[in-house]
Structure 1
Amino acid sequence: MKTIVSRRCAWLLILAAAFAASACAEPAATAPEWAWTGFRRPEGANPVIAPDTATRFFCPLRREWVAWQEGDTFNPAAAVRDGRVVLLYRAEDRSGEGIGQRTSRLGCAFSDDGVHFRRLSEPVFYPDVDSQTALEWPGGVEDPRIVQTDEGLYVMFYTQWNRRQARLAVATSRDLLTWHKHGPAFAKAHGGRFRDAFSKSASPVTRVDGGRQTVARIGGRYWMYWGEQFVNVAVSDNLTDWTPLLGPDGELLRVLEPRDGYFDSELTECGPPAVVTDAGILLLYNGKNAAGERGDGAYTPGSYCAGQALFDAADPTRLKGRLDKPFFVPEADFERSGQYPAGTVFIEGLVLHDGRWFLYYGCADSRVGVAVREAGAECAARR
């Protein structure tokens, strides 16, 4: 009898947790018209990428074979090439203990349906004997985002981490396999003022035209949102050299900041590439919940949930709207266990594929997951 009761209690707790998780996300009925709701996890598919202890890679800096993705695999960028979804995911070895103390490299995986992936056995992007070694070793290359130009060039924004300073950097490729590193994104801006300043997490602005998602120009320039603690803005003429916008006080212009009492009370960190819609520029971002009175009691302190903000398409610095509740929250066990047990759905990859939006995210800094949404009027108007 005790066994039966305990099992019933366990199921009640599971159902209650599931209800609480769904109740904490923004329901479609109350979301503003501009918001993208309806992202669903494909049944039985997640996680789509997990650690692999069998694959080895000869590290050109350690000069030895390394189990390069045996630690954790998470925080992916996504792109479409030849009708397939391509993920570049962050993979850690076990060269250290604790978050940020291992070496990160980027693995590559392909999928015809956006859900089931085949992986390459070696990383396609990693610290090497090159011009960026001092900025990328021994911490590695982290948290990529990818956009494509109308001409077919892929541009990747990633974090260089040498275990002393994080820098937002740029690389380009024609095939997503062979990359050319251009170095820190802000190296030339404002007399080099931000070259060695802390920077990461870029969300370049994209558009949809003819069913294809490519990087957008607004007012003749490329734009990107970027930043971890706050959301800042930068512009570029060539996609490799970027200039952060400054406010009247001469400091970085902040267009989105944490809010006490909300799920994003600790920080607002940029997510995947932003998308120009009929309503404006939609930015999906990662919000971290603060502990104590500053945080939102509906979410675990320290947890990462996904939010949405809308900016003016004519003036990308002007905020038009913002969700008060996240649209995507940690639910599954693998989203609440791993390197980051407080719970994380860290969104980084977003692509349009076969009439659907595929959102790829890191699960607790340990796995890769996917959620899918049917493309709506935001794409139909541009086909």
Structure 2
Amino acid sequence: MKTSSLILILLHLTFSLSQSSSSPSADQLPFNISESTVENDPNYTAPVFPLLPFTKYANNPILTPNPQANFESAYLYNPTAIVLNSTIFLLYRAQNSSKTSSIGLAWSTDGTNFTRLGKPIIQATEPYETIGGTEDPRIVRVNGTFYVTYTAFDNVTARLCLASSTDLLDWTKHGPLFPDFTDVAYSDIDVAVPRLNHSKSGAIVKEPTASDGLYHMYFGDSFFYHATSPDMLNWTAMPAEEYFAGPVNPWENRLIEPGPAPIKTRDGKWLLVYNGMTTGRVGYPRNQYSVGQMLIDPSGSFRPKLNVTDQQAYQPALRDGPVARLERPILVPEAGNEQQGQVDQVVFAEGLVQFKGKWYLYFGQGDSDLGVAIADVQP
């Protein structure tokens, strides 16, 4: 480990020690979870695209590393979220001092003050997870079963994986979903870089579409690729060259990456919060990660084959797979721990729930801490 990296971790541990007393830990869940446990807020109202505005919570970060717990002693960030029995559960990425990742669990009855389980619920057990660990969970629940996509990283190759559970504690791993997939990333000088066997960041639409009866997933950390499944376990990816969406706006012109699982809107489409990185050429800091929103329709998940030379047929708003996307980000790095952290200039969202009349958007700050932004439920 480089001396500079060690100093950064030590400084962060010192800060975390002063913060950790505000989030207690427990050795068991607040109640038993089963297939019959009620999901979602009792007064849940479907959203309208877009969800705006989000305001960052004044007392962020709401969770920081705990130096007394080895698995989360260095960094804690990138949470996914779900509501059960009027309680928000966060599954978050934790890192120890060796930067090996695992997935921890915390819960709250007010959205901002959390109790942690105190031990990881998903951690490295397979050869393709060693060294790097298990990263960046995204959760959905289908027919009483929780499905979490996560990235397995062996410090060489990132592989998108899936695990399932009925109680959030005991998980069955289903291995890499796309072991032979090769994506194409672009450097900040627009050089194409193929990444063999690389996949990550899967956001699942939790209802099958009426048009094909299949579940749909959007994944990737360069473009949005597309996969389908008849049963949530066996997934088929479309060819990489038939990607669903790519970077369009200046704030995301380096790459785009899914955030939380899409949420169904009032008109039957799906709202997808996502993350993007910029090359920094158009007024944004170089390599800044920000958060945006797009509207998708899984029943039409293939990019239109439009003739770009035919000006009457060419419609920029329909050129991409998404129905629509915001031109500007909804969250950008502003706080000190977002502008400077394990990775500088980062806000990265993976958790979105409606709770007690508000939307809570949970995100990583500088790949170091965990914050939340809040928006009103639309009338």
TM-score range, shorter chain: 0.7 to 0.9
Q: Deviation per CA, 1:14-58, whole angstroms, max 9, x where unpaired?
A: xxxxxxxxxxxxxxxxxxx732111122332x1111011012xxx
Q: Structure 2 CA distance, aligned partners of 1:78 and 1:40? A: 18
Q: Deviation per CA, 1:242-295, whole angstroms, max 9, x where unpaired?
A: 11123xxxx442222123x6000110111111122135222211110104xxx3
Given that 1:202 and 1:226 are in contact with CA atoms closer than 8 Å, whether structure 2 keeps it comes out as: yes
3-state secondary structure, aligned to 2:250? coil
| Aligned counterpart for 1:243 among listed residues 231, 236, 244 | 236
Q: Structure 2 CA distance, aligned partners of 1:355 and 1:180? A: 34
Residue 193 of structure 1, CA deviation: 5.7
Aligned-partner residue type, residue 49 of structure 2: W
Residue of structure 2 equivalent to 1:126: 123
Q: Equivalent residues in 2 for 1:258-273 (5 A)?
A: 258-259=247-248, 262-273=250-261
Q: Structure 2 CA distance, aligned partners of 1:111 and 1:287? A: 29
| Aligned counterpart for 2:262 among listed residues 260, 274, 288 | 274
Matched, 1:48 2:62: yes
Q: Structure 1 CA distance, aligned partners of 2:282 and 2:294? A: 18
| Aligned counterpart for 2:84 among listed residues 81, 84, 93 | 81
Unaligned runs of 5+ in 1: 1-32, 56-66, 96-101, 206-214, 378-383
3-state secondary structure, aligned to 1:50? coil
Question: What is the TM-score normalised by the length of structure 2?
Answer: 0.75
Given that 1:234 and 1:243 are in contact with CA atoms closer than 8 Å, whether structure 2 keeps it comes out as: yes
3-state secondary structure, aligned to 1:305? strand
3-state secondary structure, aligned to 1:319? coil
Q: Deviation per CA, 1:194-234, whole angstroms, max 9, x where unpaired?
A: 697100011112xxxxxxxxx21113111111110011111
Matched-pair identity in %: 36
Q: Equivalent residues in 2 for 1:308-323 (5 A)?
A: 308-317=293-302, 318-323=321-326
Given that 2:147 and 2:164 are in contact with CA atoms closer than 8 Å, whether structure 1 keeps it comes out as: yes
Aligned CA distance change for structure 1 residues 265 and 125 (closer, same or farther; 3 Å): same
Given that 1:153 and 1:172 are in contact with CA atoms closer than 8 Å, whether structure 2 keeps it comes out as: yes
Q: Equivalent residues in 2 for 1:205-354 (5 A)?
A: 205=205, 215-218=206-209, 219=211, 220-246=213-239, 251-259=240-248, 262-279=250-267, 280-291=269-280, 295-297=281-283, 299-317=284-302, 318-341=321-344, 343-354=345-356
Residue of structure 1 equivalent to 2:145: 153
Given that 2:216 and 2:298 are in contact with CA atoms closer than 8 Å, whether structure 1 keeps it comes out as: no
Aligned-partner residue type, residue 73 of structure 1: L
Matched, 1:204 2:204: yes
Aligned-partner residue type, residue 235 of structure 1: T
3-state secondary structure, aligned to 1:186? coil
Residue 313 of structure 1, CA deviation: 5.0
Q: Structure 1 CA distance, aligned partners of 2:91 and 2:266? A: 29
Aligned CA distance change for structure 1 residues 366 and 313 (closer, same or farther; 3 Å): same
Q: Structure 2 CA distance, aligned partners of 1:242 and 1:184? A: 10
Given that 2:295 and 2:324 are in contact with CA atoms closer than 8 Å, whether structure 1 keeps it comes out as: yes
Q: Structure 2 CA distance, aligned partners of 1:48 and 1:193? A: 36
Aligned CA distance change for structure 1 residues 372 and 276 (closer, same or farther; 3 Å): same
Given that 2:82 and 2:88 are in contact with CA atoms closer than 8 Å, whether structure 1 keeps it comes out as: yes
Q: Structure 2 CA distance, aligned partners of 1:162 and 1:313? A: 32
Q: Equivalent residues in 2 for 1:88-103 (5 A)?
A: 88-95=91-98, 102-103=99-100
Residue of structure 2 equivalent to 1:176: 168
How many residues are treated as equivalent by the alignment?
Answer: 299
Residue 373 of structure 1, CA deviation: 1.7
Given that 1:136 and 1:160 are in contact with CA atoms closer than 8 Å, whether structure 2 keeps it comes out as: yes
Residue of structure 1 equivalent to 2:30: none
3-state secondary structure, aligned to 2:337? helix
Aligned-residue CA RMSD (Å): 1.9
Residue 330 of structure 1, CA deviation: 1.2
